[in-house]
């Protein structure tokens, strides 16, 4: 398997400079948050999406997404002046669907198990380039720029926590961190109700979960995608392991972030803080990646009440 390298990630950093925000490290108690919710599309996804378009220069793009990658690709496509189609599953939060259309993309809503095949069909029918949310080297390299920034801003970091869904974010961040600081321990985090990546690592091969299982979690950004062979190879090479968190822990972490760091986190973005608060990760100078803040307002109100 041809894995992404630190040189790929450094090249991506050059491409996204001036478009993606270099998010700061913010103290939250004894740890630091990397708040990717401050990106122009509200999540880290702008890094990978923009890097892919800058590298590929397609005439038009299509993707399947739980919402955040769709927003990022729509934003990037608007920047490059090319058409964009985003296929999302039924049940995608309205705030994410509206943002995708707000950036000028065409929104296609399908049953959860039809999203990938629909995106592939539209790519063929319309001559569009498929830019998947995680299963692409340019996307992984773009997400890896977060790891570069973490090590540059906190050189003595000891533990990094990263959410896992399809694995592109964790693959990129872990690749960058381990290349620069091999001694740093990088852990993935996912919900107990969508723990396919944890099961895959334990089994030594990709294990797929049905959407009827993964859609039980409130972490909509972590329930749609399964790890691919490409991302799994990176996770197996670079992660120390994966910590799983409960639904109650996700809700508690959202409240903790709002009250302590004064930031809004969607459930997926709060997963790393949930792991940190659980006490199930090693002690040390820890950075938790807050991957996004595009939370449904009604859900946030219920959780914060």
Contact, 28 vs 254, CB < 8 A? Answer: no
- DSSP structure class, residue 133: S
Contact, 128 vs 58, CB < 8 A? Answer: yes
b/e map 96-124, b = 16+ CB within 10 Å: bbebbeebebebbebebebbbebbeebbe
Largest CA distance in the chain: 52
Dump strand ranges (E) for 9-116. 26-28, 31-35, 61-64, 84-89, 106-110
From its phi and psi, is residue 250 left (phi > 0), alpha (psi between -120 and 50) or beta? alpha
Tokens of 144: 């890896």
DSSP one-letter string for 155-198: TT--EEEEE-SSSHHHHHHHHHHHHH-TTSEEEEEEEGGG-HHH
Question: Around 240, how many Cα atoms within 13 Å sit in the side-chain half-sphere?
Answer: 18
DSSP one-letter string for 136-150: SHHHHHHHHHHHHHH
Rounded-to-integer distance, Cα 268 and Cα 265, Å: 8
The answer to whether residue 246 is catalytic is no
- Active-site option among 34, 37, 45, 200: 45
The answer to whether residue 268 is catalytic is no
Compute CA distances 284 → 72, 151, 153, 186, 279, whole Å. Answer: 33, 14, 16, 12, 12
DSSP one-letter string for 209-223: --HHHHTTSS-GGGT
Rounded-to-integer distance, Cα 1 and Cα 224, Å: 24
- Active-site option among 43, 65, 268, 291: 291
State the residue for tokens 């090590």: 151
Residues known to be catalytic: 45, 291
């Amino acid at each position: 398997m041809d894995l992404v390298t630190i040189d790929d990630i450094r090249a991506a950093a050059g491409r996204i400079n001036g478009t993606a925000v270099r998010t700061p490290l913010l103290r939250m108690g004894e740890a630091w948050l990397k708040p990717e919710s401050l990106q122009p599309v509200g999540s880290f996804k702008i890094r990978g999406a923009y890097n892919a378009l800058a590298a590929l220069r397609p005439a038009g793009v299509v993707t399947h997404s739980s919402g955040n990658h769709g927003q990022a690709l729509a934003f990037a496509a608007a920047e490059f002046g090319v058409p964009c189609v985003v296929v999302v599953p039924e049940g995608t939060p309205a705030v994410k669907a509206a943002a995708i259309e707000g950036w000028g993309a065409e929104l296609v809503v399908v049953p959860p198990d039809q999203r990938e095949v629909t995106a592939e069909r539209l790519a063929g029918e319309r001559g569009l380039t498929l830019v998947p949310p995680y299963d692409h080297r340019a996307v992984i390299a773009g997400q890896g720029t977060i790891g570069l920034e973490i090590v540059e801003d906190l050189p003595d970091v000891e533990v990094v926590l990263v959410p896992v869904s399809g694995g592109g974010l964790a693959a990129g961040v872990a690749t960058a961190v381990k290349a620069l600081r091999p001694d740093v321990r990088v852990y993935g985090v996912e919900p107990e109700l969508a723990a396919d990546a944890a099961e895959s690592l334990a089994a030594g091969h990709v294990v797929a979960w049905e959407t009827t299982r993964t859609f039980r979690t409130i972490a909509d950004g972590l329930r749609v995608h399964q790890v691919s062979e490409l991302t799994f190879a990176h996770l197996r090479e670079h992660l120390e392991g994966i910590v799983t968190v409960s639904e109650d822990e996700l809700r508690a972490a959202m409240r903790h972030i709002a009250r302590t760091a004064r930031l809004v986190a969607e459930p997926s973005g709060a997963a790393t803080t949930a792991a940190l608060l659980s006490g199930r990760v090693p002690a040390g100078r820890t950075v938790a990646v807050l991957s996004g803040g595009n939370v449904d307002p009604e859900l946030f109100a219920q959780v914060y009440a």
